[in-house]
């Protein structure tokens, strides 16, 4: 029987990053993956493939709608080759997951393919082509999550689908009904909207991206409606039925009236649930809460002290980069170090175009906590860089403490928001004031200038270009 300092169950961003960090710290490490490729949901059927399709569909939309204005004439009809688009997406996935194989070999990490299941607190049975048992002084549970559904929905994976199936459709939907106005639904909805589908979003809450600052919800709602999305908020879905190739969704609107939606595809994107199937957690004394999450303490230890859990399978935002931070945190804890994570400074991003990104506190949270704050906001359309690229929608909003000027929240809708939020994370990690950012030189012309201008607006209402 092979024996390890650390065994990791699950090879998503949390698991494989934890494995690499453990190996760097001199710990003998094994990683166990149920599927034939490493990388988990993110690399195989999540973050990476969805970004590939978002990029491809964005190129198509630019060619159809914007090239002429740029002075680029393309004779004949511009057509979507969906088969090639999906193939390119898969090539991106294959290259990326192959990169994880390389990293495992480079760091001398043993990879086991099969379902990892606890025999007891220090032994794991791996059921693959053959059954194997290994011993581990410490184990990290990084089993991730799966798409959630609603009790009355029968996901047939053909017409009533989750994000996994939406990444490999054989045809462009005529009318895609999206249940859930969160990150996943809006991103995949935008892919197919660009390719020619009609898209109707049905959201239970009173706004899309309901966990983010309401200002971002309002701006993205406005932009998506301009892109001809049909957005229906405060709608409670009560039935989803398939009749041949037609999907009928019935919902009650905020007045309690029944509304009917008919389409040829229905994407169910109502969140994700922690995945612990087959883990046999109880055999190792690991406890789950009523949401199915593995219970952990502040050190990410489970009820069994040599077993840790990270990522989507525990409480908190289901984000790949949050899982990565937790993977490093646990590896360093096992090695006797004293790492730290500030969960307030883990950014959230929506990869629509324009992108949406945020870190820190929302206005709603600050009001609820009774914190006095000031707001600095700057519109993207006031930037020369935005006009040059025709990316005029959105704004940057900085929330700063009214008395100390410390930045408490950063919220942005606009081009490259996903990249620009990192500036705010760095600033807030060092507890910078709005004035600190306002006095730093930002290259011209760039989208980043909007961050400086918003900081100027927050400092003393002294933005220069509005």
What is the set of active-site residues?
444
Distance between the two ends of the chain, CA-based, in angstroms?
A: 69
CB neighbourhood size of 344 (10 A): 12
Instruction: Show the CA angle centred on residue 51, arms to residues 227 and 85, nearest 5°.
Output: 85
> Quick one: tokens of 43?
């690399």
Distance from C-alpha of 330 to C-alpha of 63, rounded to nearest angstrom: 46
Distance from C-alpha of 32 to C-alpha of 166, rounded to nearest angstrom: 27
What residues have CB less than 8 Å from 388, skipping those under 6 apart? 445
What one-character DSSP code corresponds to residue 283?
G
Distance from C-alpha of 434 to C-alpha of 362, rounded to nearest angstrom: 16
Distance from C-alpha of 388 to C-alpha of 445, rounded to nearest angstrom: 9
Distance from C-alpha of 267 to C-alpha of 150, rounded to nearest angstrom: 12
Closest CA relative to residue 324, chosen from 346, 306, 303, 302: 346
Q: In this structure, are residues 3 and 135 in contact, taking their beta carbons and an 8 Å threshold?
A: yes
Helices and strands, number each (H, E), in the chain: 13, 22
What residues have CB less than 8 Å from 9, skipping those under 6 apart? 15, 32, 116, 124, 139, 140, 141, 142, 143, 279
Helix, strand, coil percent content, the chain, rounded in steps of 5: 35, 25, 40
Closest CA relative to residue 135, chosen from 165, 108, 112, 159: 112
SS3 5: strand
Distance from C-alpha of 292 to C-alpha of 350, rounded to nearest angstrom: 26
Any bridge partners for residue 301, and if so which? 308
Angstrom distances, CA of residue 197 to CA of 143, 375, 441 = 34, 38, 43
């Amino acid at each position: 029987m092979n024996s390890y300092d650390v065994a990791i169950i699950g090879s998503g961003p949390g698991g494989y990053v934890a494995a690499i960090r453990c190996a760097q710290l001199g710990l003998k490490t094994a990683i166990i993956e149920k599927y034939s490729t490493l990388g988990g949901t993110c690399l195989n059927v999540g973050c990476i493939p969805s970004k590939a399709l978002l990029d491809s569909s964005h190129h198509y939309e630019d060619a159809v709608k914007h090239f002429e204005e740029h002075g680029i004439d393309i004779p004949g009809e511009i057509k979507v080759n969906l088969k090639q688009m999906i193939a390119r997406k898969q090539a991106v996935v294959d290259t990326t997951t192959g990169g994880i194989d390389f990293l495992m070999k480079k760091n001398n990490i043993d990879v086991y393919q099969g379902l990892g299941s606890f025999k007891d607190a220090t032994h794991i049975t791996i059921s693959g082509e053959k059954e194997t048992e290994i011993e581990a002084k410490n184990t990290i549970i990084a089993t991730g999550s799966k798409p959630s559904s609603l009790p009355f929905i029968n996901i047939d994976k053909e017409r009533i689908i989750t994000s996994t199936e939406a990444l490999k459709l054989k045809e462009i939907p005529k009318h895609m009904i999206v249940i859930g106005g969160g990150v996943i639904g809006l991103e995949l909805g935008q892919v197919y909207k660009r390719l020619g589908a009609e898209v109707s979003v049905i959201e239970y809450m009173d706004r899309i991206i309901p966990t983010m600052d309401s200002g971002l919800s309002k701006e993205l709602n406005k932009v998506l409606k301009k892109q001809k999305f049909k957005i229906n908020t405060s709608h409670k879905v009560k039935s989803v039925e398939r009749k041949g190739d037609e999907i009928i969704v019935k919902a009650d609107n905020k007045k309690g009236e029944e509304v009917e939606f008919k389409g040829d595809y229905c994407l169910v994107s109502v969140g994700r649930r922690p995945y612990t199937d087959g883990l046999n957690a109880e055999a190792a004394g690991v406890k789950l809460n009523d949401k199915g999450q593995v219970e952990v303490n502040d050190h990410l230890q489970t009820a069994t002290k040599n077993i840790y859990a990270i990522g989507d399978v525990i409480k908190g935002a289901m984000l790949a980069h949050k899982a990565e931070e937790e993977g490093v945190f646990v590896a360093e804890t096992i090695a006797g170090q004293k790492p730290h994570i500030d969960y307030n400074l883990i950014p959230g991003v929506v990869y629509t175009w324009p992108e949406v990104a945020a870190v820190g506190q929302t206005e709603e949270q600050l009001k609820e906590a009774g914190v006095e704050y000031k707001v600095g906001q700057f519109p993207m359309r006031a930037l020369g860089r935005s006009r040059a690229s025709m990316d005029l929608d959105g704004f940057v909003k900085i929330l700063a403490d009214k008395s100390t000027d410390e930045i408490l929240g950063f919220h942005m809708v606009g081009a490259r928001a996903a990249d620009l939020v990192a500036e705010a994370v760095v600033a807030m990690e060092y507890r910078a004031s709005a004035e600190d950012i306002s006095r730093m030189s930002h290259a011209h012309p760039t989208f980043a200038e909007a961050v400086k201008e918003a900081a100027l607006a927050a400092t003393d209402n002294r933005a220069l270009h509005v």
